[in-house]
Structure 1
Amino acid sequence: MKLRGKQKRFLRAQANHLQPIFAVGKEGLTQNWVDQLDGALDRRELIKVNILQNSDVTPKEVQHFIESQTEIQVVQIIGRVLVLFKVSANKDARELSSRVKKI
């Protein structure tokens, strides 16, 4: 699903209270990390990822890597924090995506 402006604004508002649950460190970006990220998004649909200071990658590089490897969409980049969204493969966990579709 390609997100429109109003949908992104809604997701940013929903992500405002969230804490980052994933981090990119000195290990960088690996396929295993992306697989874990994808699994977490199947359960939550909206998460934040923190890029640590000791990481060699920039937020734009992380965005490009994530979007090229998966169907995950980067909603917003705030400094070294990315807000990510993906429609869950589990129909029971699609509460947020069903609300986004109505917007």
Structure 2
Amino acid sequence: MPISSDRKKQFRQIGHNLKPIVMVAEKGLSEGLLGEIERALEDHELIKVKIAINDRESRKLAIAELCKLARAEVVQEIGKVALIFRAAREPNPKLSNIMR
């Protein structure tokens, strides 16, 4: 389900103060990296991911693949940082970036 523009604006405001949790290197997406992204999305719902790929098209493809595998949606892309969101099954108010 796509995120509404009002909700994206709210997520961008929250994401402004977040630091990247995960960094994707040139090697691409590994099992360990996907596991860490799954854990981070389940805990925090809204996370920043740094993509350390210099080529713009490759970076966009990596972000799209990451979101597809993690069943998440891109809220914003600025340079090499992507803000992604996926609602948690059981959100924890102490960990969620949305509920704080």
Same fold (TM over 0.5): yes
Whose helix proportion is higher, 1 or 2?
1
Take 1:31 and 1:72, find their aligned partners in 2: how far apart are those partners? 17
Percent pairwise identity: 28
Counterpart among 77, 96, 103 of residue 98 in structure 2: 96
Distance verdict in 2 for CA 1:28–1:86, change over 3 Å: same
Does the 8 Å contact 2:48/2:82 carry over to 1?
yes
Q: Is the 8 A contact 2:43 2:91 kept in 1?
A: no
CA drift at 1:95: 7.2
Hey, what does 1:86 align to over in structure 2? 86
Question: Are 2:53 and 2:59, in contact at CA under 8 Å, matched by a contact in 1?
Answer: no
Distance 1:91 1:82 in 2: 22
The answer as to whether partners of 1:42 and 1:88 remain within 8 angstroms in 2 is yes
- The amino acid of 1:76's aligned partner reads Q
Give yes or no for contact 1:59–1:82 (8 Å, CA) kept in 2.
no
Unaligned runs of 5+ in 1: none
Task: Render the CA deviation track for 1:37-91: whole Å, top value 9, x for unaligned.
Answer: 0111100111101112578x73311222023223211100001100011101224
Instruction: Name the residue aligned to 1:72.
Output: 72
2:28 and 2:91 map into 1 onto residues whose CA distance is: 32
- Partners of 1:18 and 1:92 lie apart in 2 by 18
Structure 2 unpaired stretches of 5+: none
Provide the aligned C-alpha RMSD in A.
2.6
CA distance in 1, matches of 2:13, 2:60: 22
